[in-house]
Structure 1
Amino acid sequence: MSTETLHWTAVCAATDILPDTGVCALVDGVHVAIFNVAGAQEFFAIDNVDPKSRASVLSRGLVGSLGERIVVASPLYKNHFDLRSGECLEAPEHSVRAHAVRVHEGRVHVALS
């Protein structure tokens, strides 16, 4: 799907998300974790609800990398989620959705997958 045809929701100013941290936003009724990854100079978004605990906490996880993958570690069970795909590296059945993110006129926008 082309990025022009997606339904974009403005979330916050790009400067509101510090490098290598995440924030949670409610986008069309869905808890979304949005990350500013300094090393990649890119923003990423995945579902914020940890599938194992059902708590809305992934935005509070630690951002890092495992090999070539940019990941966030869940603060509860320490599972690693690939920020590009939402795949849970330890238990693929616990993967989450990844969402499209863009910065437009200094604001972060998210489109749900």
Structure 2
Amino acid sequence: MSQLSAERSVQHALQWQAVCARQDLVANSGVVAWIEGGQVALFYLPDEASDQQLFALDNRDPLSGANVIGRGIVGSLAGDLVIAAPLYKQHFRLQDGTCLEYPQQQLRTWLVRLQGDTVEIALS
């Protein structure tokens, strides 16, 4: 089984929840959705050359404790797509939530996908 086939099998087995419509997303920026009793920041990068254009991370900044990650600035740092936290400017990788400046900090991430015009997040 190829890696792509294996990933599709795993994604098919997950439970997905609709969180918003594609039209609710803002290109190259963040929006926040409510899921499982918490806030999730969604980042839509339609111009990104890779297959992944949609990312979902915890909206709560671990350094300040404020729900502000969805208001951060999307960019690229050392070859990684990142979000700069608005208050203290630390950078989190969109791919896995790792903080580049403070490795002990990490944002939770979710699998997220577009199903037609619906944005869905995989529940854990």
Paired residues for 1:10-89 under 5 Å: 10-40=18-48, 42-89=53-100
Deviant stretches of 4+, over 3 Å: none
What percentage of aligned pairs have identical amino acids? 44
Two-structure CA RMSD over aligned residues (Å): 1.5
Please list every run of 5 or more consecutive structure 2 residues that lacks an aligned counterpart in the other structure.
Answer: 1-6
| Structure 1 or 2: more strand by fraction | 1
Q: Name the amino acid aligned to 2:45.
A: V
TM-score w.r.t. structure 2 length?
0.85
Aligned partner of residue 8 in structure 1, secondary structure: strand
- For these two proteins, the number of residue pairs brought into alignment is 113
Please list every run of 5 or more consecutive structure 1 residues that lacks an aligned counterpart in the other structure.
Answer: none
Aligned partner of residue 44 in structure 2, secondary structure: strand
Distance 1:5 1:38 in 2: 26
**Structure 1 residues 83-108: Cα deviation after superposition (integer angstroms, max 9, x where no partner):** 00000000011111111010002111
Distance 1:10 1:102 in 2: 10
TM-score w.r.t. structure 1 length?
0.92
Tell me the residue number matched to 2:122: 111
